[in-house]
C-alpha cells in the first residue's frame, strides 16, 4: 500500500455524505492506512470497487492539490500506471471532507518491496525514465518547496534539538547546508519529478512494476535529482551499505530510455548529497512534530545521516556505476 497516515478522523456520517456526491455506490468498508507521514488516507471499498480516499494536510498546500490531480490524469493518459483521480457527480476531482481538501483515486493492485533486489532496481530505473518522458508534455509547473532553498528554513526552528537525535547533528547539518547552497547545480534539464519514489510508493507483481503511487511531492525540478532520490531510497542495504550493483542496474535501465547529459552525470554526487539531506531533515522534523495519537509510522532520520556520510566520500558518478 501507499506511504500514508491518518491525522484526521472522519465520522461515518461525514464519509457517507461525501460519498453521496460520487457515483460509486454503497460504502462497504473503510479503513485508515498507517504508513507514511504526510496525509490522512483511507482504503475505501464501495459497490464500484476499491479506491483510496486522501485528506490533504501538513506540507501539502491546498492550492497545490489541483497540480497533483491533473498530473496523475496526464501521466495515466500517457501510459504510466498510476492512480487516476475520480471525479464526483459535478465533474470535480477535489472536494472537502472533515474540513480538509479531499480526493478519491483509483486503487492499484500490487505490493511494495521492502528489500529490493537488483531486478527490482532495474525495473524502477525504467519506470522512472517512463515517468519523466510521460511528464514532458505536462503544462503545469510547481516549484519544489523542499529543494535546497527550503532546507535551512526547515531546519532552523528545530536545530537546537538536533543533538538530541545524534551527537553533533546540528553542526553536521549546518556545514552540509553551507556546502550544498554553494555547489547546488542550477542549469540541469528540468521536468516533472516524483520527488518521493521510495519502495513503498512502487507496487510490484513479481518483478514487474504494477503502479507508481503517492504523487503529493511531485514538482518541477531537475530530472537527475529524482534519480538521486531513488539512489538513496533503493540502493542501500538494511545496514546502510551502498550496493553498487543495484545502483548500476537502476542507472542503466534509466539511461536505456532517457540518456543522461554529461552535466547530469557530473552533478550526481552533489544531487545525491542533497537528496540525503532533504530526507534527513524532513524525518527529523516529523519526529518532533507528529501529533500524539496519530495513526502514523515515523521513519528514522539517522538512516539518512548514514547515507549522507557515504555520499560525502564520493568523488565522481563512477562511484555510482556511471561515467560520462
Nearest to 146 by CA among 7, 306, 274, 3: 274
In a domain, residue 17? The reply is yes
59 pLDDT exceeds 80?
A: no
> And the C-alpha cell for 29?
468498508
Q: How far apart are CA 248 and CA 161, in angstroms?
A: 37
Which grid coordinates are listed for 43? 482504503
**SS3 category, 170:** helix
Select from 74, 107, 140 the last residue of a domain: 107
Please report whether residue 6 resides in a domain: no
The alpha carbons of the chain give a radius of gyration, in whole angstroms, of 20
Residue 103 forms beta bridges with which residues? 54
Q: What is the pLDDT of residue 82?
A: 97
Mean pLDDT of 144-169: 94
Average pLDDT over residues 70-74: 98
The three-state secondary structure class of 40 is strand
What cell numbers appear for 174 in the block? 549546518
Please indicate, yes or no, whether residues 265 and 309 belong to a single structural domain of this protein: yes
- With cut-offs at 50, 70 and 90, classify the pLDDT of residue 160: very high
**Percent of all residues in the chain with a pLDDT value above 70, rounded to a whole number:** 92
The more confidently predicted of residues 297 and 228 is 228
Are 101 and 208 contained in the same domain? no
Same-domain pairing of 298 and 152: yes
Do 165 and 214 lie in one domain? The reply is: yes
SS3 at position 6: strand
Sort 79 into a burial class: Cβ within 10 Å, 0-12 / 13-18 / 19+.
exposed
Number of domains, the chain = 2
Read off the pLDDT band of 6 (50, 70, 90).
low
- Written in H, E and C, the secondary structure of 101-133 is EEEEEECCCCEECCCCCHHHHHHHHHHHHHHHH
Q: Would you say residue 4 lies in a domain?
A: no
* Structural domain harbouring 150: 112-320
Looking at the fold, whether 193 and 294 belong to one and the same domain comes out as: yes
In a domain, 79, yes or no: yes
pLDDT for the residue 3:
39
Helices (H) and strands (E) in the chain, counts: 11, 10
Say yes or no to pLDDT of 292 above 60.
no
Q: Are the C-beta atoms of residues 205 and 109 closer than 8 Å to each other?
A: yes
Is 213 within 8 Å of 82 (Cβ atoms)? Answer: yes
What's the average model confidence in pLDDT over 65-88?
97
- In this structure, the answer to whether residues 137 and 236 fall within a common structural domain is yes
- pTM score: 0.91
Helix (H) or strand (E) holding 203: strand 202-205
Amino acid at each position: 500500500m501507499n506511504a500514508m497516515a491518518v491525522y484526521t478522523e472522519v465520522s461515518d456520517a461525514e464519509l457517507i455524505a461525501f460519498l453521496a456526491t460520487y457515483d460509486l455506490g454503497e460504502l462497504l468498508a473503510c479503513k485508515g492506512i498507517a504508513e507514511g507521514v504526510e496525509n490522512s488516507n483511507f482504503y475505501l471499498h464501495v459497490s464500484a470497487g476499491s479506491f483510496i480516499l486522501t485528506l490533504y494536510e501538513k506540507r501539502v498546500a491546498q492550492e497545490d492539490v489541483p497540480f497533483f490531480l491533473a498530473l496523475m490524469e496526464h501521466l495515466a493518459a500517457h501510459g504510466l500506471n498510476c492512480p487516476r483521480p475520480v471525479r464526483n457527480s459535478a465533474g470535480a476531482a477535489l472536494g472537502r471532507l472533515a474540513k480538509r481538501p479531499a480526493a478519491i483515486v483509483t486503487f492499484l493492485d500490487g505490493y511494495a518491496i521492502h528489500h529490493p533486489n537488483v531486478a527490482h532496481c532495474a525495473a524502477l530505473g525504467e519506470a522512472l525514465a517512463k515517468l519523466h518522458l510521460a511528464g514532458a508534455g505536462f503544462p503545469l509547473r510547481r516549484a519544489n518547496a523542499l529543494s535546497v532553498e527550503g532546507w535551512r528554513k526547515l531546519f532552523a526552528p528545530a536545530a537546537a534539538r538536533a543533538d538530541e537525535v545524534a551527537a553533533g547533528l546540528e553542526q553536521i547539518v549546518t556545514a552540509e547546508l553551507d556546502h550544498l547552497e554553494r555547489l547546488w547545480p542550477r542549469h540541469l534539464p528540468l521536468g516533472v519529478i516524483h520527488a518521493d519514489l521510495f519502495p513503498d510508493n512502487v507496487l510490484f507483481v513479481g518483478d514487474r512494476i504494477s503502479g507508481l503511487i503517492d504523487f503529493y511531492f511531485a514538482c518541477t525540478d531537475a530530472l537527475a535529482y529524482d534519480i538521486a532520490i531513488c539512489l538513496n531510497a533503493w540502493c542501500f542495504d538494511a545496514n546502510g551499505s551502498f550496493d553498487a550493483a543495484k545502483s548500476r542496474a537502476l542507472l542503466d535501465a534509466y539511461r536505456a530510455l532517457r540518456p543522461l547529459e554529461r552535466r547530469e552525470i557530473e552533478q550526481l554526487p552533489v544531487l545525491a548529497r542533497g537528496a540525503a539531506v532533504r530526507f534527513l531533515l524532513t524525518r527529523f522534523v516529523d519526529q518532533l512534530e507528529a501529533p500524539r495519537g496519530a495513526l502514523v509510522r515515523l521513519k528514522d532520520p539517522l538512516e539518512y545521516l548514514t547515507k549522507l556520510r557515504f555520499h560525502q566520500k564520493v568523488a565522481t558518478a563512477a562511484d555510482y556505476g556511471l561515467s560520462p
